[in-house]
Amino acid sequence: MKTIIYPGTFDPVTLGHLDVIARAARLFERVVVGVGDNPAKDALFTQKERVELIRQEAAHLPNVTVKGFNGLVVEFARAEQTTLILRGIRTVADLEYEVQMAFANRACAQVETLFIAPSPAFASVNARFIKEIAAMGGNVEGMVSPAVRDRLLARYGSARPGSKP
């Protein structure tokens, strides 16, 4: 059975992420979305909330599971009994960073990385930008699902320009 993991922070999960998940679900027997905590990133949603949101959004894909994890991605891959990591690539900057990570993962754990570009409609969708737009009271429709948009609105509520959650 071919399993691939798709790790990330998914804070919040975007339509681009969901596009990559759905496309991977057509290519692999099992897709495990790994929702990690990255101490270098200031998460808006808890890991539990992010797992819940992705589970809701991917519920129609029977071969997709969503799990939280901590630590190295290669250890998560090992726990899921796979040597395949999926990464979405939007830009040349993404590619440069991800190729370096792929080399490191292959060298230290013999784990391969496969790259998928999102559909063109989602090529500029970025979770960090979505949080900034939502915090300033902007419209994030077309970048996140209605459920994620509602969670962002609930979190930022009466956000005003320049305010923080």
**Residue 161 is encoded by which pair of tokens?**
């320009």
77 domain-assigned:
yes
Model-wide pTM > 0.85: yes
Predicted pLDDT of residue 42: 85
Give me the residues paired with residue 115 across strands. Answer: 87
136 domain-assigned:
no
Q: What is the CATH number of the domain that holds 90?
A: 3.40.50.620
Range of the domain at 102: 3-120
> Hey, what amino acid is at 14?
T
**Residue 96 is encoded by which pair of tokens?**
């440069």
144 domain-assigned:
no
> Hey, what amino acid is at 24?
A
100 domain-assigned:
yes
pLDDT < 70 positions in the chain? 1, 158-165
Predicted pLDDT of residue 94: 86
109 domain-assigned:
yes
Which long-range CB contacts under 8 A does 36-41 form with residues at least 24 apart? 36/7, 36/8, 36/9, 36/68, 36/69, 36/70, 36/73, 36/76, 37/9, 37/68, 37/70, 38/9, 41/9, 41/11
What is the count of structural domains for the chain?
1
101 domain-assigned:
yes
110 domain-assigned:
yes
Rounded to 5 degrees, what angle do the CA atoms 127, 131, 137 make?
140
Placement of tokens 């599971």 in the chain:
65
Predicted pLDDT of residue 158: 52
Predicted pLDDT of residue 1: 62
